[in-house]
Amino acid sequence: MRIIRAKNYEEMSRKAAAIIAAQVVSKPDCVLGLATGGTPVGTYKNLVEWYNNGDVDFSAVTSVNLDEYRSLPREHPESYWSFMHRNLFDHVNIDPARINLPDGNNMDAAAECARYDAVIEAVGGVDLQLLGIGHDGHIGFNEPSDAFDLGTHCVDLTEETIEANKRFFASRDEVPRQAYTMGTRTIMHARKVLMIVSGKDKAEIVKKAFFGPVTPQVPASILQMHKDFVLVADEDALSLI
Ligand code: F6R
């Protein structure tokens, strides 16, 4: 595990974007595992800027997103499909045929999860997986539990996650209660994992996940065992370690 310290959110975003850009420059046909949420917005902004400057070319990149709400229409502004298009895909030259997310509108959970695992396998696995972390230590929507989840699966969001995500919706009632998410095994099989964390409110979970025991009760803690895990965090997020 390597920790890269950034002064603030902006510097964290630039450093994370630089790592992703380096991946794309060194392997133009790489597979990027991408994340949504508040944290990666600045990272994507930098990538769009560097694409506009001619420094990064996404034409051969394949993307596989971590997760998607179940039952939220794809066109809903808070679907992860919409988020990714708004923040990154609509602004760079990625081939739409190479964009992959779980299909939250396929209500046959078993079929959708099997399809998504097959997609990830068919593209040869993930070269670089970008992650954020939830206050309870979730990665993707792998919530605290008694065992690490394996492949893509359907999850019931915890009360804490619903509470955290309500800021994106008009009301708490509108937050979907379920999601499809890549499993911990898929994340651990990524050849490189890059986590970005910002803010004092994440300091406690950063300490617990990366300086505490490895346990499925803190899903991100498994990353301590990944052979190429980079944590890019700002001073606030690192303030307790
Ligand atoms: C997003 C995802 C989640 C978020 C996490 C942190 O695709 O899978 O695990 O990374 O909930 O979210 P933010 O960045 O909003 O604090």
Instruction: Cite the active site residues.
Output: 67, 136, 138, 143
Q: 74 alpha carbon to ligand 1 midpoint, in Å?
A: 18
pLDDT at residue 10 is higher than 90:
yes
List all residues 6 or more positions away from 48 whose beta carbon is below 8 Å from its beta carbon. 88, 91, 92
Q: Which atom of ligand 1 is nearest to the CA of 142?
A: 9
- Cα angle: 134, vertex 137, 141; to 5 degrees: 60
Query: Using one digit for the tens of pLDDT, what is the confidence trace for 117-166?
Result: 999 999 999 999 999 999 999 999 999 999 998 899 999 998 988 998 99
pLDDT of 161:
87
Place of tokens 């949504």: 36
Q: What is the C-alpha to C-alpha distance for residues 219 and 192, in angstroms, rounded to an integer?
A: 17
Query: Using one digit for the tens of pLDDT, what is the confidence trace for 177-219?
Result: 999 999 999 999 999 999 999 999 999 999 999 999 999 999 9
Q: Is 61 left (phi over 0), alpha (psi -120 to 50) or beta?
A: beta
Q: Span 67-80, mean pLDDT? A: 95
Of the candidates 1, 44, 8, the one whose C-alpha atom is nearest the C-alpha of residue 230 is: 1
Q: Span 28-36, mean pLDDT? A: 98
pLDDT at residue 46 is higher than 90:
yes
To the question of domain 2-178 being in CATH 3.40.50.1360, the answer is yes
Give the torsion sign (CA, 173, 142, 230, 190): negative
User: What DSSP assignment string belongs to 114-164?
Assistant: HHHHHHHHHTTS-SEEEE---TT--BTTB-S-SS---SSEEEEPPHHHHHH
pLDDT of 141:
94
Q: Which of 41, 133, 167 to mutate to test the pocket of ligand 1 (most atoms within 8 A of CB)?
A: 133
Q: Which helix (H) or strand (E) holds 178?
A: strand 178-181
Residue nearest to atom 11 of ligand 1 (CA): 134
Give the other-Cβ count within 10 Å of 151's Cβ. Answer: 17
- Give 79's pLDDT tier (boundaries 50, 70, 90): very high
- CA neighbours within 13 Å on the CB side: how many for 191? 11
- The structural domains of the chain, with segments of one domain joined by +, span 2-178
Q: Which atom of ligand 1 is nearest to the CA of 40?
A: 14
Of the candidates 153, 162, 142, 144, the one whose C-alpha atom is nearest the C-alpha of residue 180 is: 153
pTM over 0.85: yes
Residue type, 123: V
**Greater confidence, 19 or 158?**
19
